[in-house]
Structure 1
Amino acid sequence: MNMQPIGVEAHSIVSATAELIPDGIHFGLSEDAYHGDPALGSTGLKDLIDNAPDFWWSSWMNPAREPDKETPAKIFGRAVHKCVLEGRAAFDALYSPCEHPGNIKAGKEEREAVEAAGKLPLKRDEYNRIVAASAFIRANATLRDAFTGGQPEVSVFWTADGIRFKARFDYLKMRAVADLKSIRNPLNKSFVQACRDRIAGLDYVISAAHYMDGRQRMGAFVKAGQVYGAPDSENFRSWLIQVAGQREFAFVFVFWQAEGAPISHGFQISPGNPILDSAKQSIAKAVWNYRQFMEKFGTKIAWVPSTPLEELDETELPIWWQQKQLKG
């Protein structure tokens, strides 16, 4: 069935000059271009599971959406990715440490010199932290090769049953997709338990299932020649054909601690892991909700559901509240 992808026509209303990124595998695609495309990514899917209006609010369909602001956390995160995923040389080619605060004359002059050299300034403590994190990950015997032998920041776009999707792999390897995650541990839990709690709390398994779906589609894109921005190298083409031909691969989370010692720990989701079953069901629910809300509200009307008035039932309130009533 030849179905028009949902949202294509409406997207042109948002920006008459915008072009949808074509389905396929994309190397070197900028972060802004990736996030600017309205295809459904893992974050949007997670919003759609139970909070479709939140998805609409932060989407391109909302004319009152606040612009995505640059923050120190985003700048730091991109710098970490550059160092860990691409190596120290690539990191130092783009970033330079500054010894003085940016609100004094010496600091302003220092930053001007860094920018004049075509680099981005980082505070010295941030620079040191990033370099240490990269070194600690490589010192972890289990994870030292997590970000070697592959390609960083690989994006995949695809259309399934008329809906466009997207995924962006931190690091694409022959038999794995590696995903770098930072974590803070203010409650001083064991680091491993804090990582597990983060996976559960932010539904990272849903992200993993979505990314694995995207990777499974790479073989068809390679055969169809839908590969963009790839290096013009026979060795690279051979590598990509082998990667796309892998039927089984793992998804690997690599966590590093952003405060305190920058230790690291990894978790893998192997093919056939039953944890993926519930994630796939959640994604199916998200897609169903997307279709329902699109059919009811479209792209020009706010997604505001009308819910029935409920009679409050004590059994539906939290357990702690019910126990409190029993104790008097």
Structure 2
Amino acid sequence: MDEAIYRQDPALGSSDHKLLAQAPEAYWHGSHLNPARVSDKDTPARALGRGVHKAALEGSEAFKRSFVRRPDDLERLTEKVRAILAPRGETVLSGEHYDRAALAAGMIRAHPDLANSLTSGYPEVSVFWTVEIDGKPVRCKARFDYFKPRAIVDIKSIAIKRPLPFKVLCLRAIRSFRYGVQAETYLEARKLIPDMIRAGAVFGTDEPEPRWLDMVLAARDFAFVWVFWASDGPPLVWSGSVSPTNPLLDDARSFVEQARRNFVNFRDRFGTGAAWIEYEPLAEITPEDMEAAHSRHF
């Protein structure tokens, strides 16, 4: 499935879950429910991330077909020049970003523990499913960077902003950005895939081989695997995994449940045609309010 089609689908992704659990009004503001929402614009950083994904997940040739290196002596990238450099609609990356994408992907593929993590599977696999909250349907979605019978591989970038070991920076990012919510929802989707396979609900231009689907059905153990790459500084790579029973996901599971309850409650209260805005009553600020606002749950 094309990424644009996936993003246009209103089902709840992991980022939606994070917003809904903490600020439903922020979710509504950026969602398809808001007729005045601002379109998500592309940025050089996002283009770099896509480049790393393409090169790491599909190989250097696929990367070169989809991305073009901007000449170092080119002062201004006009639409006319872009059409010449990228006649098939390729993404034009600056020389720095093009080289970084190729280098980061090479480092990921060279990592001894990741040698087999990006083979014998399929990239960019989208999954859609429906859960019920108080008897009401909530559609959810996930897009695996790379799907193997026993692993969901997710590639993330991280900027080196502090002189700390790269592993520490990655672990801090997992907590700070609540990446556990993504791991929890993706593992939830993975648990449902065998039933989807049995029901014949597998679609795509690149149909998986029956033997590979049998391997997915046979897999009893699987994990969510993060692969972090440094977007600046030394081309560092670090990877870590969590399985469905990992206690680190307990908090994320509660977060996901709260997000879905909030979605149903706000949808019931405000509907789909009005802003999800509620006013807090005027009240004296207490020490407990300040403590709660600075707790790890926000």
TM-score (normalised: structure 2): 0.90
Kindly provide the amino acid, as one letter, of the partner of residue 157 in structure 1. Answer: F
For 1:127-184, what per-residue CA distance to the aligned partner results, in whole angstroms no more than 9, with x for missing partners? 1111111111122212232222211100000112211110000000120000001000
Q: 2:129 — aligned with what?
A: 158
Q: Is the 8 A contact 2:68 2:86 kept in 1?
A: no
Change in 2 beyond 3 A, CA 1:294/1:100 = same
Alignment partner, residue 38 of structure 1? 10
**Corresponding residue for 2:170?**
195
Aligned to 2:256: 283
Q: 1:138 aligns with which of 95, 98, 109?
A: 109
Which residue in the other structure is 1:184 paired with?
159
Of 50, 56, 77, the match for 2:49? 77
Kindly provide the amino acid, as one letter, of the partner of residue 214 in structure 2. I
2:203 aligned partner, one-letter code: Y
Letter in 1 for 2:43: T
- For 1:91, what is the secondary structure of its paired residue? helix
Which of structures 1 and 2 has the bigger CA Rg? Answer: 1
Go from structure 1 to structure 2 and tell me whether the alpha carbon gap of 1:110 and 1:61 turns closer, same or farther (over 3 Å shift).
closer
Q: Contact 1:251 / 1:270 at 8 angstroms: preserved in 2?
A: yes
Q: Give the partner amino acid of 2:64.
A: D
Partner of 2:60: 88
Runs of 5+ consecutive residues of structure 2 not aligned to the other structure: none
C-alpha contact (below 8 Å) 1:95/1:119 kept by paired residues: yes
State the match for 2:70 in structure 1: 98
Moved over 6 A (4+): 107-110
Provide the C-alpha distance between the structure 1 equivalents of 2:261 and 2:79, rounded to a whole number of angstroms.
52
Structure 1 stretches lacking a partner, 5+ long: 1-28, 322-328
Show the 5 A alignment for 1:253-272: 253-272=226-245
Distance of aligned partners of 1:277 and 1:118 in 2 relative to their CA distance in 1, 3 Å threshold: closer
Using a 3 Å threshold, how does the CA distance of structure 1 residues 108 and 207 change in structure 2: closer, same or farther?
closer
- C-alpha displacement of 1:280: 1.2
**Alpha-carbon contact 2:28-2:276 (below 8 Å) kept:** yes
C-alpha displacement at 1:70, in angstroms?
A: 1.9
Could you tell me how far 1:101 is from its partner in structure 2? 4.5
Matched residue, 1:171? 146
Structure 1 residues 93 and 245: alpha-carbon distance in aligned structure 2, compared to 1, 3 A threshold = same
Q: Write the mapping of 1:278-317 to structure 2, written as runs, cut at 5 A.
A: 278-317=251-290
CA RMSD, Structure 1 to Structure 2 (Å): 2.1
Shift of 1:75: 1.6
Q: Cα deviations across residues 272-301 of structure 1 (Å, max 9, x unaligned)?
A: 211122211111111111111011001011
Q: What is the Cα deviation at residue 252 of structure 1?
A: 0.5
Q: TM-score, normalised to structure 1's length?
A: 0.82
Give SS of 1:265's match.
strand
Which sits farther off after the overlay, 181-190 or 163-172? 181-190
